[in-house]
């Protein structure tokens, strides 16, 4: 377009270094001379590195949307992903599920072994949760020892979607029941999971989160690891399922 219509251009793109890594560059220029028949004769411009600015931009984005300890999406990005999931449900008629995950006894663990060891445990929990992810799902750390899982595109029918969500929930439980090896310490913990199915945007992210939170507190009342799921968007249906078998 610069050659045919005139004006300036500005492009940013990566170039591969001879050693294999990539660098960001900014290329700007403008057409300054044409031939007698109008064909472009000369363009002037410059190419410069914008690696430092790109790095700063990425740091700002990471601090704004990701948990710095675990590297998972934070509460802000979680709500954005949940809103997008409800919008997609609105379009395609599918149901999704929100799962809140709480590590039982984390405060006592922190008091016993110290905050540094508590951070190591949270990092390991986040890593295991990522192993349970499908490509379209989101796992986030909301704060403290509370994590959230957004499951998308489960099914159109509530019972089918609930069964699929329970299977994922039980996989998470089994993953987190495995002993954690934290340096010289081997630690076993139980986990409480509250889950709710959600439909489209009319369900409301605050109501979705509240239902999952209530289910999680019910799960915490059960000794050991527990999963509770309730589906009740807009009062249309109430469905409660027991923990699925192994």
The answer to whether residues 177 and 225 touch, using CB atoms and an 8 Å cutoff, is: yes
Predicted confidence band at 234 (pLDDT cuts at 50, 70, 90)?
Answer: very low
243 pLDDT more than 70 = no
CA distance 138 to 150: 5
The answer to whether residues 212 and 99 touch, using CB atoms and an 8 Å cutoff, is: yes
Residue found under tokens 């029941």: 177
Using alpha carbons, list the distances in angstroms from residue 14 to 25, 30, 58.
Answer: 6, 21, 15
Sign of the CA dihedral running 191, 196, 201, 202: negative
* Bridge pairing between strands 239-241 and 226-231: antiparallel
Predicted confidence band at 238 (pLDDT cuts at 50, 70, 90)?
Answer: very low
Structure tokens at 97: 């599920």
Diameter of the chain by CA atoms? 86
pLDDT digits (tens, 9 = 90+) for 27-69: 999 999 999 998 999 999 999 999 999 999 999 999 999 999 9
**What pLDDT score was predicted for residue 68?**
92
The answer to whether residues 97 and 171 touch, using CB atoms and an 8 Å cutoff, is: no
Asked whether the whole model's pTM tops 0.85, one would answer no
SS (HEC) of the chain: CHHHHCCEEEEEEEEECCCCCEEEEEEEEEEEEECCCCCEEEEEEEEEECHHHHHHHHHHHHHHHECCCCCCECHHHHHHHHHHHHHHHHHHCCEEEEEEEEECCHHHHHHHHCHHHHHHHHHHHHHHHHHCCCCCCEEEEEECCEEEEEEEEEECCHHHHHHHHHHHHHHHHHHHHCCEEECCEEECCCEEEEEEEECCHHHCHHHHHHHHHHHHHHHHCCCCCEEEEEECHHHCCCEEECCCCC
**What pLDDT score was predicted for residue 223?**
80
Backbone phi, then psi, for 206, in 5-degree steps?
Answer: -65, -40
Residue found under tokens 């992903």: 81
């Amino acid at each position: 377009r610069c050659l045919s219509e005139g004006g300036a251009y500005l492009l940013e793109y990566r170039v591969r270094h001879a050693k294999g890594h990539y660098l960001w560059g900014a290329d700007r220029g403008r057409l300054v001379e044409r031939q007698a028949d109008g064909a472009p004769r000369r363009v002037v411009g410059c190419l410069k590195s914008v690696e430092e600015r790109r790095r700063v931009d990425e740091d700002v984005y990471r601090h704004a949307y990701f948990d710095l300890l675990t590297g998972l999406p934070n509460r802000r990005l979680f709500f954005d992903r949940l809103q997008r999931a409800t919008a997609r449900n609105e379009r395609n008629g599918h149901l999704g599920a929100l799962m809140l995950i709480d590590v039982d006894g984390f405060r006592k663990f922190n008091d016993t072994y110290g905050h540094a060891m508590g951070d190591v445990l949270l990092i390991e929990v986040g890593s295991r949760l990522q192993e349970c992810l499908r490509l379209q799902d989101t796992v986030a750390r909301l704060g403290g020892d509370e994590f959230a899982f957004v499951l998308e595109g489960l099914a159109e029918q509530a019972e089918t979607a609930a069964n699929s969500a329970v299977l994922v929930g039980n996989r998470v439980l089994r993953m987190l029941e495995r002993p954690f090896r934290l340096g010289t310490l081997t630690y076993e913990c139980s986990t409480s999971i509250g889950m709710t199915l959600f439909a489209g945007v009319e369900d409301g992210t605050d109501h979705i989160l509240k239902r999952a939170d209530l289910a999680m507190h019910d799960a915490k009342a059960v000794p050991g690891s527990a999963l509770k799921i309730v589906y009740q968007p807009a009062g249309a249906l109430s469905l409660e399922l027991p923990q699925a078998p192994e």
